[in-house]
Amino acid sequence: MKKMIRMTGLLLCLIGVTALLFGCGLSDLFASGQDQDVVTTEVSHRVYWINRDETRIREVAQEFTSSDVEDLISECLACLSETPDDNVYRSVLSGKVHVTNYVYDGDSKQVTLYFDPSYSEQSKAAEILTRAAIVKTLTQFNDDIQYVSFVIGETPIAGNDGSPLLMRNKDFVLDINGNMEYVREDYVTLYFANEDRTALKVEDVVVKYLSRINLETAVVNSLISGPIHEDLHSAVSGNTKVNKVSVKEGICYVDLSREFLEKMEGQSFSLNVYSIVNSLTRLSGISRVQFMIDGEIYTDSIDGIKIDGLFEKDLTLVEKQEEPSRVKEDNPLDLEKEIREKGVEAPETEPETPEEETPAVAIEE
């Protein structure tokens, strides 16, 4: 077991005595004049509080003394249970949130926390903040703890694929208002325009998106943002805004701004449509796509194509990707010999592309 290095706080300025007279804690900021720099104390680690409005968490400096990892986990949980000295905030482990047990696995560097079933009675906002505060507190000891999973009663918090969700520090980010958000990750197949914009081409990527939006919205946003590979292009105008994307009974309703109707230079409008349709129908539970423009069905045609109906996937627009053969096909005798001696099967002329389900795997900091 690795030993945790303990660091003592150092005062950066000779104003510590004054700060103590005013009862300042380790997390407070000090300033003795308008033109002077703000000075803080240096502390190696921290814990987190939740504000009583349940909109954000606050980082509070904390020194830990345990060297054994399991003792350190217990110390972290104890600190997360302490009542803050600032009544604007509350402790994370309070009210409906109680840790009944935990298990540490040194090989995977994972902590599994077991909570009382009352954990599920939190509001959605409070639950995200609770997870963020606990995960960020424990995973700051990255050499020993890299992943945290939650079990509520007897039910693990699961990812989109149904497996226990392993959470990391970077899975939680602050939005522009300072609110904590959970970041999801999913492996998806996207369809972009090829280099000369004559067909669609596949790009497999991991999309990262905030928990307040769904995967379908993240997919459409990724298609608008553009591909990773330089020889591909977004088939949809970059000015397109995503109003709403939702799924009901196998139909994905995609509401976009009017910029979606813009034809891309040198490209058929069909690629605009099927870039989105083919990408969305690769997701589990979606078989058809219905487009709307600013909340309404668009009845006019673009480039001879109407988008007022339901669309199913169409792989005829996808560029054929040649796969290298394992045998030489220019000499029939060589081909027969290879098959006879090595049992190699002759490639089919038009292999079908298998449809895959999207496995779930939580924007990076």
State the pLDDT confidence band at 33, using cuts at 50, 70 and 90.
very low
- Count of domains in the chain? 2
Q: Looking at the structure, do residues 51 and 111 belong to the same domain, yes or no?
A: yes
Give kind and range of the element (H or E) at residue 242: strand 242-248
Distance from C-alpha of 81 to C-alpha of 78, rounded to nearest angstrom: 5
pLDDT at 338 over 80: no
Q: Looking at the structure, do residues 164 and 253 belong to the same domain, yes or no?
A: no
Q: Looking at the structure, do residues 174 and 193 belong to the same domain, yes or no?
A: no
Mean pLDDT of 38-59: 75
C-alpha distances (whole Å) from 355 to each of 189, 223, 279, 281, 315 are: 10, 19, 11, 10, 11
Q: Looking at the structure, do residues 110 and 245 belong to the same domain, yes or no?
A: no
State the pLDDT confidence band at 43, using cuts at 50, 70 and 90.
low
Is 359 a member of any domain?
no
Out of 125, 155, 178, pick the residue that ends a domain: 178
State the pLDDT confidence band at 321, using cuts at 50, 70 and 90.
low
In the chain, the largest separation of any two C-alpha atoms, in whole Å, equals 95
Enumerate residues 6+ apart whose C-beta is below 8 A from 169. Answer: 135, 136, 139, 140, 142
Domain range enclosing 220: 184-317
C-alpha distances (whole Å) from 190 to each of 30, 168, 200, 207, 275 are: 51, 26, 10, 10, 8
Tens-place pLDDT, residues 4-32: 433 334 333 333 433 333 333 333 333 33
Query: Which residues pair with residue 294 across a beta bridge?
Result: none
Out of 178, 206, 229, pick the residue that ends a domain: 178
Q: Looking at the structure, do residues 204 and 235 belong to the same domain, yes or no?
A: yes
Q: Looking at the structure, do residues 131 and 274 belong to the same domain, yes or no?
A: no
Mean pLDDT of 32-61: 68
Is 356 a member of any domain?
no
Mean pLDDT of 105-121: 95
Q: Looking at the structure, do residues 163 and 266 belong to the same domain, yes or no?
A: no
At residue 203, the pLDDT reads 94
Mean pLDDT of 243-250: 95
State the pLDDT confidence band at 105, using cuts at 50, 70 and 90.
very high
Q: Looking at the structure, do residues 62 and 132 belong to the same domain, yes or no?
A: yes
Q: Looking at the structure, do residues 60 and 196 belong to the same domain, yes or no?
A: no
Single out the residue of 164, 166, 185 nearest to residue 358, CA to CA.
Answer: 185
Q: What is the pTM of this model?
A: 0.56
Distance from C-alpha of 219 to C-alpha of 238, rounded to nearest angstrom: 14
Q: Output the average pLDDT for the chain.
A: 79
Tens-place pLDDT, residues 181-199: 788 888 899 999 999 999 9
Mean pLDDT of 338-352: 46
Single out the residue of 92, 110, 206 nearest to residue 151, CA to CA.
Answer: 110
Out of 120, 145, 178, pick the residue that ends a domain: 178
Q: Looking at the structure, do residues 58 and 154 belong to the same domain, yes or no?
A: yes
Q: Looking at the structure, do residues 280 and 308 belong to the same domain, yes or no?
A: yes
State the pLDDT confidence band at 159, using cuts at 50, 70 and 90.
confident
